[in-house]
Structure 1
Amino acid sequence: MKLSDIKKHLETMETVNFQLQNGTFVPAHFHVTEVGVVTKHFIDCGGTVRNEKVANFQLWNANDVDHRLKPVKLRNIIALSERVLGLEDLEIEVEYQQTGNDGQTIGKYDLAFDGNHFILLSKATACLAQDHCGVPQEPSNASCCTPGGGCC
């Protein structure tokens, strides 16, 4: 989902709710503690230099159980980020750490909308240079990183 999409959805919403793919809701008293731009400049295992840029939202739960983020407040936070940071119409990545899961780290999620709620979609890693790495097109038990393969 792009920034323009979330802004459009927020215009018609009465409440802001985020839900994980398993149906669990982010507690209603969450805070959006950060809105920003994350830029990743890297080289993949095939030697290609890449640049990625996303709009980043960080969700956080506090002990402030009376807090409820209203759509207008989130729209205002986004507008401020656009003005101050030059935030563009980028894909949104959401950072969220589930409560009650000792030892878990922050999860990164893509974002979708089901007509009522924002859905945090699980992300996965992938090899971006499969044609250079010798990764078979069909799944197999063979490792792409064989000695002398130039991948790893």
Structure 2
Amino acid sequence: MKTSEFLKLLEIHKNKSLLFEYLPGKFVGANYHITEVKNITVDVVDCGAGTDFWKETIIQLWESPVEKDKTVFMTALKALGILNKVDRMKTMARDAEVKFEYSNDNFHTAQLFVNDFSYNDQKLILNLAVKKTDCKAKETCGVAEPEMAPAQGACAPGSGCC
């Protein structure tokens, strides 16, 4: 999800509670705060000597231990207010992918991307996920993709695929 899409989503659902699902059925606690917004420029050289460049917006979520019993979630409007204030100080790249940095005692620190979202009358829920690392220079470096096993029942005897 691009930063512009996220900001628009918050505007559309401004009166709803904003929840983050970091694993299926596991939500960032209602005691979360937005503690940092990073405007990141990524400038890379991969293992095949290829170069790339892009921007990311990384929003850090932190659960306050002082408010661990809190049950009311931040509204999308409050989050939008925080991000608009940040944007006035350090302009966010609207076409940058937005990610969320989060951890807790049972989940390692990770930068999570928005996999999907859902909403109802009271809540806007962002479903977050981790992207696996990958080699961007497989072809250049001669790294073969693993062969996929044929679908069960797809091999006829004598077809040469089994």
SS in 2 for 1:45: coil
- CA contact under 8 A between 2:55 and 2:93: conserved in structure 1? no
TM-score by length of 2: 0.76
- The within-5 A match list for 1:32-111 is 32-63=34-65, 64-65=67-68, 66=70, 68-89=73-94, 90-97=96-103, 99-101=104-106, 105-111=108-114
CA distance in structure 1 between the aligned counterparts of 2:49 and 2:117, rounded to whole angstroms: 36
Of 105, 127, 133, the match for 1:119? 127
CA distance in structure 1 between the aligned counterparts of 2:2 and 2:91, rounded to whole angstroms: 15
- CA contact under 8 A between 2:19 and 2:73: conserved in structure 1? no
| Residue of structure 1 in register with 2:23 after alignment | 21
TM-score by length of 1: 0.80
The 4+ residue runs of structure 1 with deviation greater than 6 A are none
- The within-5 A match list for 1:124-135 is 124-135=132-143
Shift of 1:114: 2.4
Amino acid at match of 2:17: T
| Residue of structure 2 in register with 1:143 after alignment | none
Amino acid at match of 1:52: W
- CA contact under 8 A between 1:82 and 1:88: conserved in structure 2? no
Larger mean CA deviation between 76-85 and 119-128 belongs to: 76-85
> What percentage of residue pairs aligned between the two structures are identical?
28
- CA contact under 8 A between 2:47 and 2:137: conserved in structure 1? yes
Structure 2, unaligned stretches of length 5 or more? 149-162
- CA contact under 8 A between 1:21 and 1:122: conserved in structure 2? no
Larger Rg: 2
Amino acid at match of 2:101: E
